[in-house]
């Protein structure tokens, strides 16, 4: 059974909700599909906050400069300019919609995080910023009667007809049967792929489905090798890899090794406030040097009442595992956290497939370069989510929903069985290989072995979800093998230096079957403009 709507949004994090609102405000019918409850996304787990230029001693140029420095020479300047200049408008809008950021004496409280030159990070309820933003966006979306939320709907493939994305195929959460929904355009806001790795701070839904679906639909992928590993995930046996926010180091927390020694001065003059990739590699190096499984985050020099007020969720979680953040050294080690790469888009969320848009972590606008600046991701979801919604409206005012009867079979999925979950065997095998061979420290031998293993898995009889998972792992590993240098979140022990020849984005597509380099992500808008004028 197929249904029709005006626009489909896949994902209900900050980017998905913001793009849905932009679409619905015009009167368009919007169907939002999400494979869990509406609030379950990477956004809800974002503790650190959202970076924005609102304080008196800050300006957009400083925020831009900090972002470019963190991006290790690979940020697209136009994308960064868009983020930092438009971000202020969208954060003010969030406040108008009832988002409750932390205040003192009625004034917004700004904190500082690693690699930021100013205190520009807004928080909500201490360390629950993402959760508060999702709450306010869901509330705002509820005002729009044209938005239909469909939770627990696992989207497995995009439907492409005559070169255009016209809909999606998903599993009906009630009848447990395949369904198709058709629209003028589809916006991917499916988040990242942290679950590719054995250790991750991401929720179980972050399996990268949207990236794989876009790849099979013919979209170009960019910068897949750049994975950000968060330095400080709670490392307690039996506990999830719960994120201990960047803000804890921003507030004065220090890292100590198994002997209780502060060690970051051995690795970087910025100490604990060095960019995440440097801190993560420093922790790995220190663990190897001392033969230990973790290091420790020390917050004991700070006031206990301040810590419990500033980090209530972290305090509560640590207590559940017998740790007092004000008195104990907190065992931590790195875990996969964020994908800088993704579906290649222009500044308006347009992918290389007409009718398909992407925003948030699933996309790659070039705004993060080789290493995301802390707390820029929520801002990216807001800014580019809104822009993707606006572009979808602008690009398809006369478009009609593709008739299901005239749609040719989807060659990418017609011979494959539906499966709502990645099989346990595939998941375990891929996650371990990714962590051991495509992790924080990489080299050609390990990467080639990983690719060979993924090819072997892919020859099995896989469900769509399992195929998507393995394909995405292979895209990351192949891009990492191609980039014979170290830059940002990508570190090759056999090529430890940056190379000017690799100051380009890696581009992969199903059609080309090989990896190429491109100097900028944002060529697509110019190309589309030229096509329109002709």
- Residues annotated as catalytic are 276
Backbone φ and ψ of 327, nearest 5°: -120, -30
200 bridge partner residues: 336
Rounded Cα distance between 353 and 355, Å, is 6
Other CB atoms within 10 Å distance of the CB of residue 301: 9
| Upper half-sphere CA count for residue 90 (Cβ side, 13 Å) | 27
Where would I find the H helices in 396-463?
424-437, 444-458
Give the DSSP H/E element, type plus range, for residue 85. helix 77-96
Rounded Cα distance between 338 and 341, Å, is 9
Q: Are 345 and 387 in contact, with CB atoms under 8 Å apart? A: no
Q: Are 389 and 20 in contact, with CB atoms under 8 Å apart? A: yes
Closest CA to 223 of 504, 447, 431: 504
Q: Which region, left, alpha or beta, applies to residue 208 given φ > 0 means left and ψ of -120 to 50 means alpha? A: left
Other CB atoms within 10 Å distance of the CB of residue 500: 8
Rounded Cα distance between 184 and 16, Å, is 17
Other CB atoms within 10 Å distance of the CB of residue 443: 15
What counts of helices (H) and strands (E) characterise the chain? 14, 23
């Amino acid at each position: 059974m197929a249904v029709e709507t005006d626009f489909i949004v896949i994902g209900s994090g900050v980017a998905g909700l913001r793009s849905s609102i932009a679409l619905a405000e015009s009167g368009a019918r919007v169907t939002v599909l999400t494979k869990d409850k509406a609030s379950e996304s990477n956004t809800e787990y974002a503790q650190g906050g959202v970076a924005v230029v609102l304080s008196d001693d800050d300006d957009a140029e400083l925020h831009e400069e900090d972002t470019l420095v963190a991006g290790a020479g690979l940020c697209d300047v136009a994308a960064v300019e868009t983020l930092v200049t438009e971000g202020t408008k969208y954060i003010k809008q969030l406040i108008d919609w009832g988002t409750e950021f932390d205040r003192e004496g009625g004034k917004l409280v700004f904190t500082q995080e690693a690699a930021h030159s100013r205190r520009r990070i807004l928080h909500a309820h201490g360390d629950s910023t993402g959760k508060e933003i999702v709450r306010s966006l869901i509330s705002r979306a509820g005002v729009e009667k044209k938005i239909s939320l469909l939770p627990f709907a696992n989207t497995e493939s995009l439907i492409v007809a005559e070169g255009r994305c016209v809909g999606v195929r998903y599993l009906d959460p009630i009848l447990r049967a395949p369904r198709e929904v058709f629209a003028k355009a589809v916006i991917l806001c499916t988040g990242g792929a942290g679950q590719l790795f054995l250790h991750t701070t991401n929720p179980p839904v972050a399996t990268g489905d949207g990236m794989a679906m876009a790849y099979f639909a013919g979209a170009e992928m960019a910068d897949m090798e750049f994975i950000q590993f968060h330095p400080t995930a709670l490392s307690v046996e039996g506990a999830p890899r719960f994120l201990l926010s960047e803000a804890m180091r921003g507030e004065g927390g220090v890292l100590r090794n198994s002997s209780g020694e502060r060690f970051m001065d051995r690795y970087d003059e910025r100490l604990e406030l060095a960019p995440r990739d440097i801190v993560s590699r420093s922790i790995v190096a220190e663990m190897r040097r001392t033969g230990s499984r973790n290091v420790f985050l020390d917050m004991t020099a700070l006031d206990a009442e301040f810590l419990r007020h500033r980090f209530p969720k972290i305090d509560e979680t640590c207590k559940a595992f017998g740790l007092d953040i004000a008195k104990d050294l907190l065992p931590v080690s790195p875990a996969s956290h964020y994908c800088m790469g993704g579906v290649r888009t222009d500044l308006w969320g347009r992918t290389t497939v007409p009718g398909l848009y992407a925003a948030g972590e699933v996309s790659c606008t070039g705004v993060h370069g080789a290493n995301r600046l802390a707390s820029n991701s929520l801002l990216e979801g807001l800014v580019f989510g809104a822009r993707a919604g606006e572009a979808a409206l602008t690009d398809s005012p006369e478009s009609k929903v593709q008739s299901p009867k005239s749609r040719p079979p989807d060659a990418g999925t017609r011979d494959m069985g539906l499966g709502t979950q990645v099989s346990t065997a595939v998941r375990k095998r891929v996650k371990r290989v990714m962590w051991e061979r495509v992790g924080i420290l990489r080299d050609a031998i390990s990467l080639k072995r990983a690719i060979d293993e993924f090819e072997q898995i892919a020859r099995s009889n896989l469900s769509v979800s399992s195929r998507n998972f393995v394909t995405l792992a292979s895209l990351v590993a192949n891009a990492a093998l191609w980039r014979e240098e170290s830059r940002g979140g990508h570190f090759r022990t056999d090529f430890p230096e940056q190379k000017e020849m690799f100051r380009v984005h890696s581009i992969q597509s199903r059609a080309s079957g090989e990896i190429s380099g491109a100097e900028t992500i944002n060529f697509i808008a110019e190309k589309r403009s030229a096509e329109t004028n002709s």
